[in-house]
Structure 1
């Protein structure tokens, strides 16, 4: 447990403008108002940790992301731009910063507690061979709602991946990772294509589109996010992203040549090449999962296969838009909100949520509750 001193706290802007609201609770940019409990996740870099925390005046359980600014490989203004953008966004499927301020050498961002962590956490904790297709459909629908909102405002996300999809204990889904967004509006004019290459993007290469990686004169637009969504869909279905064990240069070549990863099920497993079968056998010898047996035992819908195939088109003009995908047949059968369906679909995972922490107040008890949730691997990345 950590309680910071008030000295050294500095908010972005005025005190009034930096007060956040969580329901009827006012969250102040003052470290003495918060207790940090157990670490429930880590960010993209070692200098980022996510804590279960408590707002002392109200007793409300929240999450606080702490960034060690002095040891960050990213310039401070990048984090500052992310905070400003998050405060401008108003959409239920985009991650919210309720309150942000600087405490000595750390940037603290107060957020709602999202009990399942990221979709990547969920995969690693229990669904190592992929999520059920219905769960994927609910998650993708909410991510598409977030992307449609961003794209309508000329914003390219540039980092759509499972670790940037956060799932609340009630089944709500929101997209995070806004640190790498790029605005297509400049000086009041919207550019049709942009040519800015994302900084510190080595961790995103598997998800980035061919047109971003090529860095040519054609540039890229919001359709690059649709390619990343296709890769993320594959990741959610199979438990890991494509190109994972491939050398970077080979992966880049495969993408530029238009190679499309296929969902692994009984309809596609026969299409594996001899080289891919050899790689599979090597993985089995090292204690890996029997992918061939797994694929032969399951079948994804033709709508899901089609969605991924269209998202991974080499030519961005041939990819659908986020708005167009929202009317895709894959989502036609979804009659509920994600918050009504996902908790059942993600069983037997138990989220860290307000219900199982409601009567917990002291530090040791909070840590005990978290440690008892053995299904959740809290050392996994919980990216923002």
Structure 2
């Protein structure tokens, strides 16, 4: 997230318009790269840097959840790099919630929800009412990633981990106030109210990290095998694979970053 935020700024000569979790590539040594480059749009027109864009991206139906309201409304005001900031907030929700917001909505409804100012959020005990958390996940309305009720108070846990007393509901957990605030800033309906990339990189959510991301990420990725390890390999036994993953997670330390 920090890598993408640092690249989306008002002085850039291009921006992506949408980025999603599948575009974020992390190497075994903690280096972060962005893919999905076909969505990049150059701001240079006739030798001049354009201030606003009116172009509508190709393949838009598949990426509607990540597109900002100003991109979707296609009016004469156009849009600029701040549409990337909105996309960053959607990606944060996607990574934290395990699915992209609006995923269960028809395209037309999704468009109307965004234009009417419906804002996705992190799903936890602060945004989902207690009665919702008591339902089975399959009956919960939280699957859309939309906060449909007032914030509910409750026990706040650390690191966004589900509570063992939650009865199995995946969102009976608590993210940090800094993470909530970061997402809220990115997903402001009015692009004028969204912070710049420079402001975001100084947000307390990023400031709390004590070590460089390249030093932390390899530890966070420790239970995960690089995709190259699966090339030319046969199917693995699921039981032994889960046991190996559980063993790896037991040694994982995530105290440096409070989600």
Q: TM-score range by the shorter chain?
A: 0.7 to 0.9
Give the C-alpha shift of residue 372 in structure 1. 4.8
1:321 aligns with 2:179: no
* Aligned match of 1:253: 112
**Alignment CA distance shift 1:263-1:271 (3 Å):** farther
CA distance in 1, matches of 2:227, 2:237: 8
1:161 aligns with 2:161: no
Q: Secondary structure at the match of 2:8?
A: helix
**Alignment CA distance shift 1:341-1:154 (3 Å):** same
Give the C-alpha shift of residue 291 in structure 1. 10
Q: Is the 8 A contact 1:173 1:338 kept in 2?
A: no
Q: Secondary structure at the match of 1:205?
A: helix
Matches within 5 A, 1:30-109: none
* Aligned match of 1:193: 52
Q: Is the 8 A contact 1:143 1:173 kept in 2?
A: no
How many residue pairs are counted as aligned between the two chains? 216
Give the C-alpha shift of residue 292 in structure 1. 8.1
Give the C-alpha shift of residue 215 in structure 1. 0.6
1:141 aligns with 2:6: no
* Aligned match of 2:77: 218
Please identify runs of 4+ aligned residues in structure 1 that moved more than 3 A. 277-280, 289-292, 370-375
- The structure with more strand, counted as a fraction of residues: 1
Q: Which sections of structure 1, spanning at least 5 residues, go unmatched?
A: 1-139, 358-365, 376-384
Residue by residue over 1:241-283, the C-alpha shift from the partner in whole angstroms, topping out at 9 and shown as x without a partner, is 000011111111110011111211111111888xxx7995178
Q: Is the 8 A contact 1:171 1:343 kept in 2?
A: yes
TM-score, scaled to structure 1: 0.51
* Aligned match of 1:338: 213
Give the C-alpha shift of residue 199 in structure 1. 1.3
CA distance in 2, matches of 1:324, 1:372: 45
Q: Is the 8 A contact 2:54 2:74 kept in 1?
A: yes
**Alignment CA distance shift 1:282-1:147 (3 Å):** closer
Residue 91 of structure 2, aligned match among 232, 240, 260: 232
CA distance in 1, matches of 2:47, 2:103: 40
Residue by residue over 1:36-77, the C-alpha shift from the partner in whole angstroms, topping out at 9 and shown as x without a partner, is xxxxxxxxxxxxxxxxxxxxxxxxxxxxxxxxxxxxxxxxxx
CA distance in 1, matches of 2:118, 2:196: 21
1:209 aligns with 2:68: yes
TM-score, scaled to structure 2: 0.74
Give the C-alpha shift of residue 152 in structure 1. 2.9
CA distance in 2, matches of 1:271, 1:260: 20
Q: Which has the larger radius of gyration?
A: 1
Give the C-alpha shift of residue 335 in structure 1. 2.7
1:281 aligns with 2:126: no
* Aligned match of 1:95: none
1:304 aligns with 2:179: yes
Residue by residue over 1:67-94, the C-alpha shift from the partner in whole angstroms, topping out at 9 and shown as x without a partner, is xxxxxxxxxxxxxxxxxxxxxxxxxxxx
* Aligned match of 2:169: 293
CA distance in 2, matches of 1:253, 1:373: 45
**Alignment CA distance shift 1:292-1:158 (3 Å):** farther
Q: Secondary structure at the match of 1:261?
A: coil
Q: Is the 8 A contact 1:142 1:173 kept in 2?
A: yes
CA distance in 2, matches of 1:258, 1:271: 25
Q: C-alpha root-mean-square deviation of aligned residues, in Å?
A: 3.0
Give the C-alpha shift of residue 323 in structure 1. 1.7
